[in-house]
Amino acid sequence: MTHPKPALINIPSEPIGSIPRPPDLIQKLAQVDSEDPALATLYEDAVRDTIERFEATGSLVVTDGEQRKYHNFLTYCVHGLPNTSADGFKIPFSDGHTRRMLRLTGGPFRYLRYADSYLDLAMRYAHVPVKQAVISPSALSLMYPAEGIPDYPREQFIEDLLREHETEIQRCLQKGAHKVQIDFTEARLAVKIDPSGRLLDSFIDLNNLALSRFSPEERKRIGVHTCPGGDLHATHSAEVDYADLLPRLFELKAGNFYVALACEQDRRRVLKIIRKYLKPRQRIFVGVIAPIYPRIETAEEVRDRVLEASEYIPIEQLGTTDDCGFAPFSDDTSTSRDTAFAKIRARVLGTALAGNLIGGDHHDTG
């Protein structure tokens, strides 16, 4: 008697975005302005190499590794804006280091570049769908100073901010981005800064104002990423309980959520919270890889994490991802490119192993 081939279940797997930049690019960025024409070849080589290596992992969705996002995932769109200063909102990390936002010193607020400009180059080299990450309106709202700006009221700033964000996503969707992921790393940080939850509420409301501008069809291609922040092997808000974040997070009008999970102390507890608050038509990509830990996960470890998640999340709403980008800030050399791609390969393989097992189980039980 021959055994019928088990029904395969394809569990989608996507990266978050950033990959460590090649050393020659990092070195050059330390010497010249990020827009210097001398960087063009280095940027192009970095993007081409990143996409080649991404595709070699078997990943069915790739990014450009954010090689051209300078200086980071937060402020790439406003870097170089003349009406800003460097002394903005401070993000404290667990190891004592800090990163700073830009501060807006006058109106009007405009983006200097939209992320679809990165997509152009990436899609020239990619043979598989390309995903694009963009920064959330709530993160950029931190640029507006608490004391206000004369002749440029906060209401006007918010209106300009929402229009710029909408334009950026619209352009990425039109160019054929597989998904547009809104980086919302400040969500968990907001609960740490304001345990009453009011700051988080205001962030959710602002981001929903933006998401409301898209059709239900478009929102299927829009996702939101949450994590405790990852920079130089440290985090900014890992101590915040997901129970204080996820119920509100899933109120966002997005079709996809990319939730850091691999680093959590008690993954099953988090999965129970997800099961309770998850809404129909939302897909949850759970983090199965920890970019801030140097150890490379095995495919079997990833497989078991996916099987664990599948006990709580309906299979048609489950996906896998990395907990965070591998280098959200362009000068971060704490992880090598080799390590990043080895971890991504484990995610892709492990997710496929789990899909085969679940598909096989499904067949056996009819």
| CB contact at 8 A, 185 and 200 | no
**Residues 178, 130: contact at Cβ < 8 Å?**
yes
Amino acid at 116: D
* CA 324 from centroid of its chain's CA atoms: 6
289 binds Zn ion (CB under 5 A): no
Q: How far is the CB of 225 from Zn ion (least distance, A)?
A: 6
What is d(CA 77, CA 75) in angstroms, rounded to the nearest whole number? 5
Query: Contact between 349 and Zn ion (CB under 5 A)?
Result: no
Q: Is the dihedral of CA 76, 215, 158, 204 positive or negative?
A: negative
Query: What residues contact 277, with CB distance under 8 A and at least 6 apart?
Result: 246, 247, 250
The one segment of 77-85, 196-204, 227-235, 283-291 that binds Zn ion by CB under 5 A: 227-235
Q: Which 139-198 positions form the footprint of Zn ion (CB under 5 A)? A: 185
214's tokens: 């898209």
- Smallest gap from Cβ 51 to Zn ion, in A, equals 21
Stretch of residues binding Zn ion (CB under 5 A), selected from 50-58, 82-90, 245-253, 323-331: 323-331
Rule CB under 5 A: which of 328-347 touch Zn ion?
Answer: none
Size of the site for Zn ion (CB under 5 A): 3
Segment contacting Zn ion (CB under 5 A): 31-39, 322-330, 336-344, 346-354? 322-330
> Measured from the CB atom, is 138 or 185 closer to Zn ion?
185
Contacts of residue 356, defined as CB under 8 A and 6 or more positions apart, other chains included, come to 6, 8, 9
Nearer to Zn ion, 224 or 324 (CB): 324
Q: What is the DSSP letter of 234?
A: B
As measured in angstroms, the least distance from the Cβ of 227 to Zn ion is 3
Give me the least distance between CB of 229 and Zn ion, in Å please.
6
3-state helix, strand, coil in the chain (%, to 5): 40, 15, 45
C-beta of 176 vs 294, nearer to Zn ion:
294
Q: Are 264 and 270 in contact (CB under 8 A)?
A: yes
Q: Which is nearer to Zn ion, 143 or 292 (CB)?
A: 292
Q: Which of 348, 321, 334 is nearest to 293 (CA)?
A: 334
* Contact call for residues 341 and 18 (beta carbons, < 8 A): no
Q: Which is nearer to Zn ion, 223 or 355 (CB)?
A: 223
Burial bucket for residue 213 (CB in 10 Å: 0-12, 13-18, 19+): middle
> Nearest distance from residue 18's CB to Zn ion, in Å?
9
- Nearest approach in angstroms of CB 85 to Zn ion is 26
Among 169, 324, 346, 349, binds Zn ion (CB under 5 A): 324
Query: Which one of the spans 38-46, 121-129, 141-149, 226-234 is the region binding Zn ion (CB under 5 A)?
Result: 226-234
Q: Work out the angle between the directed axes of helices 154-174 and 116-125 (0-180°, nearest 10).
A: 20
Which residues lie across from 230 on neighbouring strands? none
* Segment contacting Zn ion by CB under 5 A, of 104-112, 165-173, 288-296, 317-325: 317-325
Kindly tell me which of 77 and 324 has the beta carbon lying closer to Zn ion: 324
Residue whose CB is less far from Zn ion, 182 or 324: 324
**Whose Cβ is closer to Zn ion: residue 104's or residue 260's?**
260
The least distance separating Zn ion from the CB of residue 283, rounded to whole angstroms, comes to 18
Kindly tell me which of 222 and 352 has the beta carbon lying closer to Zn ion. 222
Distance in Å, CB of 128 to Zn ion, minimum: 22
Which residue shows structure tokens 């008690």? Answer: 266
| Residue 227 found at the interface with Zn ion (CB under 5 A) | yes
Residues 6+ apart with CB under 8 A from 29: 21, 39, 70, 330, 331
- Which residues are paired to 231 by β-bridges? 234
Footprint of Zn ion (CB under 5 A): 185, 227, 324
